[in-house]
């Protein structure tokens, strides 16, 4: 009984103590680890792929609501470099999902002036998946509103190793001085470089109760506010997004300094 009560109290502490302020600061860049699709399906005696399919419906709802709130970049962790270890049939379904998703959602993205970006090792994706994401980026390239940024076949450690190799090669070639290497230069060699002023998330959300980063944007989230919820991704609603932002609005961001 005590453990159940304690768990409920922790959930209330995370989710219910801050109120979303429509006039408050909206995070410019929100990153989300969309976790819990498989467990959501299992609790309903459904196959794991049913959870992934429902999760894509949640992506559509959260994307449009984030755009309406004034978020500039929404980065979603869709498939990690480690996810290839999952069962073959599940991986095959996940590789087909962007094809079906963009086929139905691109017209809405265009209508809402949302631009698609995809970061990760895209060249390693199956041809049909690669074609779907490239088409989505091309079809929305002229949109000037929020950027919907998918991390697909992405891993932060691999990203940083790739950046380090590229910088090292420039030094070796004599086109870069070692003394010129700083935070800004390193950031501009990462996959988020094209996001410009919004490279680093203000708020990182992870659903489904896990409280770890899982190799996601580890350089970029150095000063991000972290928010964890026990709600599985398929159940994460626009109202819960506002609740997450409400917690963010109640935080004091000092970036290593002191509050004035």
Strands, sheet with 115-119, edge to edge from the N-terminal-most edge strand: 115-119, 147-154, 73-80, 29-33, 203-206, 225-228
Query: Is 251 annotated as belonging to a binding site?
Result: no
Rounded to two decimals, the pTM is 0.91
Q: How do the domains of the chain map onto residue ranges? A: 49-67+79-105+123-154, 155-224
Q: What are phi and psi of 21, to 5 degrees?
A: -110, 115
Dump pLDDT digits (tens) for 114-123: 999 999 999 9
In this predicted model, which residue has the larger pLDDT, 6 or 29?
29
pLDDT for the residue numbered 252: 85
Dump pLDDT digits (tens) for 169-225: 999 999 999 999 999 999 999 999 999 999 999 999 999 999 999 999 999 999 999
Helices then strands (H, E): number in the chain? 8, 6
Dump pLDDT digits (tens) for 129-181: 999 999 999 999 999 999 999 999 999 999 999 999 999 999 999 999 999 99
Candidate list 3, 57, 83, 202, residue with the active-site label: 83
Query: Is 253 annotated as belonging to a binding site?
Result: no
> Using an 8 Å Cβ cutoff, are 99 and 128 in contact?
yes
d(CA 234, CA 152): 19
Mean pLDDT of 75-103: 95
Candidate list 35, 153, 200, 202, residue with the active-site label: 35
**Residue 35: active-site member:** yes
Dump pLDDT digits (tens) for 14-38: 444 578 998 999 999 999 999 999 9
Task: Give me the chain's average pLDDT, please.
Answer: 92
pLDDT for the residue numbered 50: 94
**Residue 112: active-site member:** no
Query: Is 213 annotated as belonging to a binding site?
Result: yes
pLDDT for the residue numbered 142: 97
Nearest to 13 by CA among 247, 217, 226: 247
């Amino acid at each position: 009984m005590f453990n159940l009560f304690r768990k409920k109290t922790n959930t209330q502490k995370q989710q219910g103590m801050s109120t979303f302020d429509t006039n408050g600061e909206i995070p410019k860049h929100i990153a989300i680890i969309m976790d819990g699709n498989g467990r959501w399906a299992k609790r309903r005696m459904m196959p794991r792929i049913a959870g992934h399919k429902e999760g894509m419906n949640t992506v559509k709802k959260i994307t449009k609501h984030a755009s309406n709130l004034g978020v500039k970049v929404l980065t979603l962790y869709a498939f990690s470099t480690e996810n290839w270890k999952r069962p073959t049939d599940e991986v095959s379904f996940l590789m087909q999902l962007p094809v079906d998703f963009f086929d139905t959602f691109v017209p809405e993205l265009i209508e809402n002036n949302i631009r698609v970006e995809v970061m990760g090792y895209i060249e390693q994706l199956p041809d049909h998946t690669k074609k779907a994401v490239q088409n989505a980026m091309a079809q929305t390239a002229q949109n000037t509103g929020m950027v919907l940024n998918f991390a697909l076949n992405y891993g932060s450690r691999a990203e940083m190793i790739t950046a380090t190799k590229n910088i090292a090669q420039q030094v070796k070639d004599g086109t870069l001085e070692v003394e010129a290497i700083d935070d800004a230069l390193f950031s501009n060699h990462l996959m988020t470089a094209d996001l410009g002023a919004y490279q680093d998330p203000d708020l990182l959300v992870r659903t489904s109760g896990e409280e770890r980063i899982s190799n996601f944007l580890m350089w970029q989230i150095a000063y991000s506010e972290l928010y964890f919820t026990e709600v599985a991704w398929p159940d994460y609603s626009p109202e819960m997004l506002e609740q997450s932002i409400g917690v963010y609005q109640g935080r004091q961001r000092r970036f290593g300094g002191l509050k004035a």
